[in-house]
Amino acid sequence: MSDLRDLYQELILEHSKAPRNYRQSPAWNRKAEGFNPLCGDRFTVYLTVDGDSIRDVSFQGSGCAISKASASMMTQSVKGKSVAEAERLFESFHRLVTGVGHSNGDAQLGKLTAFSGVSEFPARVKCATLAWHTLQAALEGKQEATTE
């Protein structure tokens, strides 16, 4: 059970049950839909981008506990950040969940380190990164992201 507790940490379970920013931002100006065709997880990420700054970020959709908690915590971590900061955060997060290890230039992951256990479950990496891929697609002005 110890491995399982590494994956399903309390913080992750709590976010999956009560996701934050689970709504459509009223003044969104960019959005993208993320889809994992393998398991059917599907999220829409809404962004309110003002110049270089992410003023608001929210999401809606459905998926497993890992993907939903990741989407919830992603919205908390990138809100108020610059586009470049959000992209750096995704890079660091990606290294965390794929177990590549930290690099000196890593952004401060803060609570996102709760996802470190994902690296022991390769099949679940796509769950943890789906919302982030969707965020990236929205920032780049693409309509869709898939994990394939």
Partner 1 sequence: MSMGTKTVSGPGLDLARVRADFPILQRSIHGKPLVYLDNAATSQKPRAVIETISRYYEETNSNVHRGVHYLSEQATSDYEAVRKTAQQFLNAADSKEIIFVRGTTEGINLVAQSYGRPRLKAGDEILITQMEHHSNIVPWQILCEERGATLRAAPMNDAGELDLDRFSRLLNSKTRLVAITHVSNALGTINPIRRIVEMADGWNVPVLVDGAQAVPHMPVDVQALGCDFYTFSGHKLYGPTGIGVLYGKSALLDKMPPYQGGGDMIMSVTLEKTVYNRLPYKFEAGTPDIAGVIGLGAALRYVTSLGIENVGAHETAVLGYATSAVSAIPRLRVIGTAKEKAGVLSFTLENVHPHDIGTILDQEGIAIRTGHHCSQPVMQYFGVEATARASFALYNTKEEVDRLVRAIEKVQEVFR
CA nearest to 147, candidates 63, 56, 31: 63
Which of these segments, 22-30, 32-40, 105-113, 131-139, binds partner 1 (CB under 8 A)? 32-40
The reply to whether 1 sits near partner 1 by the rule CB under 8 A is yes
Task: Choose, by CB under 8 A, the member of 48, 55, 60, 65 that binds partner 1.
Answer: 65
Task: Choose, by CB under 8 A, the member of 40, 80, 110, 122 that binds partner 1.
Answer: 40
Secondary structure class of 86 (helix, strand, coil): helix
CA nearest to 65, candidates 21, 12, 117: 12
Q: Cβ(56)–Cβ(74) under 8 Å?
A: no
Secondary structure class of 96 (helix, strand, coil): helix
Q: Cβ(54)–Cβ(79) under 8 Å?
A: yes
Task: Choose, by CB under 8 A, the member of 24, 29, 53, 62 that binds partner 1.
Answer: 62
Sheet strands side by side (includes 41-50): 53-62, 41-50, 30-36, 144-146
The reply to whether 84 sits near partner 1 by the rule CB under 8 A is no
The reply to whether 86 sits near partner 1 by the rule CB under 8 A is no
The reply to whether 13 sits near partner 1 by the rule CB under 8 A is yes
Pick between residue 18 and residue 100 the one whose CB is nearest to partner 1: 18
Binding site for partner 1 (CB under 8 A): 1, 3-4, 7-8, 13, 17, 38-42, 62-66, 68, 121, 123-124, 127
